[in-house]
Chain A
Amino acid sequence: MKDFKHIQTAHCENGVTVNLLQRQGLDFMTEPLAFGIGSGLFYIHIPFLKVNKGPAISFRSMPGAIFKRTCKMLEIDVTKKKFSSHEEAQKFLDAEIQKGHPVGCQVGVFHLMYFPKAYRFHFNAHNLIVYGKEGDNYLISDPIMEETTTLTTAELDKVRFAKGPLAPKGHLYYPNEAGEISDEILRKAIIKGIKHNTRDMMHIPSRRLGGKGINYTASQIRKWRSKHGERQAGLFLGQIVRMQEEIGTGGGGFRFLYAAFLEQASEILQDDRLIGISEQFTKAGDMWRDSAVQMAGIYKGRITSQKDFDHSADIMNEISAVEKQAFVALEKLKLRP
């Protein structure tokens, strides 16, 4: 494929979205914009699901949601396909590449050969772009990598058909041809994205979601030490840190990304009030980082008393309050396009 340009981003799905939309002529698209318009910021303490017998927490919206919503808000149609047959999945992909279309693919990480083994868990919602084929090698642009890479036909088939929760089933997707995106559409998309995200974080009636979810996790942390013992409870904290700081978050549980989005939004909407709110999210990101350092003290075995677990929980309560304040402020702006 001629003139394919690799773009590295913090988060894989943002990266695929930015890259494919820029190719459709949306030169202004950046990772923070894609993340914000797609209302990517989230918090959920997932019920019924355990990871390594510990908590399953996500700091961003459902896999696939960012691409879907960003395109929808910008009024761009998308093509999406899943397959039951491996052959069909490959045939469809090959035909798209032949036509010169780079394609987004959902893949599992466990068999993703260019990742070091230490990072290969059974996580099935990673995203990459396939942009060409040379002999038996597919040309791969993985947004979290600095450089492009390749996968053989067999390797790519394996990751596209990884099994287990969130199995990709060969899922591929790309935006259809986009027309001119007017300033008005962009402004509307940004405002809709902000409103959607405010609703997700504040107004879903569940104690495990949004700001309430952060407090829910905090209340669990207070019980872990007596319930599971120091070692196990420490491992659970390590798990929270891993989810918050895993490759692709850009750090601070995606909060810095959202702060960067509001900063760009303030320029596009010419609304200085957003700068102040952006700073509140930067503060939240910093607090998530501090919280990770404090939790690390516990899982390194340096501080392990109940008081230290309570301290972790206290910090999370504070973060919840800061984020709530920021979203209330966003709501009060009553943004209009």
Chain B
Amino acid sequence: MSNFTREVCYVKDENGKFVKGLSEGWETKQIALDNAWEEIERTVEEVKKEVLEGKVSPVKYFMELRIMDLPVLAGYTGFWSWQIKRHMKPKVFKKLSDKKLQIYADAFEVSIDDLTNFKG
């Protein structure tokens, strides 16, 4: 936190009045944030395995990698959530048109090749 910005907080001065202070961060919330990222990385690894085993399509992998969920991905692609869920099935994914693949590629900021030749 402190290598990015200090943040304003409100603390009492010696007369018991609130004044603006600058905080360098707090361990308690730093750990919560670190845990959240560990969990994201764990999920990404798990889904990567599932893609390589042919259980889900790369759409799911890149969604997790870009820390998106269905509503966010729906926002970026214009697809409905139920369509995206279908596209996460490897069989359906293989038949996607280049046009649809391009939409996913743009949303994930990768190339179509990253999607169709998934190496993880």
Chain A interfacial positions (CB closer than 8 Å to B): 8-10, 31-32, 52, 110, 115-116, 118-119, 121-122, 144-146, 163-165, 167, 234-235, 238-239, 241-242, 245-248, 250-251, 256-257, 259-260, 263, 282, 292-293, 296, 299-300
Contact = CB atoms under 8 A, between A and B. Distances in A.
B8 A292 contact: no
Nearest to A296: B28
Contact of A9 (B1, B6, B8): B8
Nearest to A248: B7
28 contacts: A31-B8, A32-B18, A121-B67, A122-B67, A144-B5, A144-B8, A146-B6, A163-B72, A163-B75, A164-B74, A165-B75, A235-B36, A238-B32, A238-B35, A239-B32, A242-B36, A245-B29, A245-B32, A250-B8, A250-B9, A251-B9, A256-B11, A257-B10, A260-B18, A282-B12, A292-B29, A296-B28, A300-B31
A101 to B, nearest CB: 25
Nearest to B29: A245
Given A238-B36, A259-B18, A32 B29 contact: no
Contact of A167 (B3, B7, B22, B75): B75
A256 B18 contact: yes
Contacts of B31: 238, 296, 299-300
B37 interface: yes
B10 A10 contact: yes
Contact of B10 (A163, A256, A296): A256
Nearest to A244: B29
B116 interface: no
A91 B94 CA distance: 42
Contacts of A121: 67
B36 A52 contact: yes
Contacts of B9: 10, 250-251, 256
A32 B22 CA distance: 16
Interface of B: 1, 3-12, 17-18, 20, 22-23, 26-29, 31-33, 35-37, 39, 67-69, 71-76
A8 B23 CA distance: 12
A252 B75 CA distance: 32
A144 B7 contact: yes
B33 A263 contact: no
Nearest to A145: B5
B65 to A, nearest CB: 12
A257 B19 CA distance: 10
Given A251-B23, A263-B17, A119 B4 contact: yes
Nearest to A258: B10
Given A163-B72, A245-B29, A8 B8 contact: yes
Given A52-B39, A167-B75, A260-B10, 4 more contacts: A119-B4, A256-B10, A257-B10, A263-B18
B32 A296 contact: yes
A223 to B, nearest CB: 20
A10 B7 contact: yes
Contacts of A245: 26, 28-29, 32
B43 to A, nearest CB: 9
Contacts of A115: 4
A165 B72 CA distance: 6
Nearest to B20: A31
Closest 9 CB pairs of A and B: A163-B75, A164-B72, A164-B75, A260-B18, A238-B32, A245-B29, A10-B8, A256-B10, A163-B76
Contacts of B68: 122, 164
B33 A242 contact: yes
Contact of B37 (A118, A145, A241, A257): A118
